[in-house]
Amino acid sequence: MWGKTSHSLSKIIIRQYNSYRMSKVWKNVAATLGLVAVSVVASATTVHVMKNGTPSGRASSEVSGTEATLSASDYGFQNAALSVGQRPIGSAPDLTPAAEASVKAVVHIKVQKEQRVEQQQMMDPFEFFFGGDPRNSSRRSQPVVGYGSGVIISNDGYIMTNNHVVDGGDEIKVTLNDNRTFKAKLVGADSGSDIALLKIEGSDFPTIPFGNSDNLRLGEWVLAVGNPFNLTSTVTAGIVSAKSRSTASAGDQLEVSAFIQTDAAVNPGNSGGALVNASGELVGINTMIYSQTGNYAGYSFAVPINIAAKVVSDIKKYGTVQRGVLGVVGSEVTSELVQKEGLKVNEGFYVADFAEISAALAAGIEKGDVITAIAGHKITSFGQLQEQLSRFRPGDKIDVQVNRKGADKTFKVTLRNMEGGSSILKQQSSSVDARLGATLRPLEADARRSYGLSYGLVVESLRSGALKNAGIREGFILLTANDNPLRSVADLNKSISPAKGKTTGRRSGSILVLRGFYPQSGDVVTYTVEL
Q: What is 165-180 written as a DSSP string? A: HHTT-SEEEEE-TTS-
Among 212, 257, 183, 186, smallest CA distance to 22 is for 257
Catalytic residue list: 164, 194, 271
Q: 159, 152 in Cβ contact below 8 A?
A: yes
Angle ∠(183,474,163) on CA atoms, nearest 5? 40
Q: What is 129-165 written as a DSSP string? A: HTT--TT-EEEEEEEEEEEEEEEE-STT-EEEEEHHH
Angle ∠(27,18,324) on CA atoms, nearest 5? 145
β-strand pairing of 328-332 with 12-14? antiparallel
Count of beta carbons in the 10 Å neighbourhood of residue 130: 8
Q: What is 257-321 written as a DSSP string? A: --EEEE-S---TT-TT-EEEETTS-EEEEEEEEE-SSSS--SEEEEEEHHHHHHHHHHHHHHSS-
Handedness of CA 474, 478, 481, 486 (dihedral sign): positive
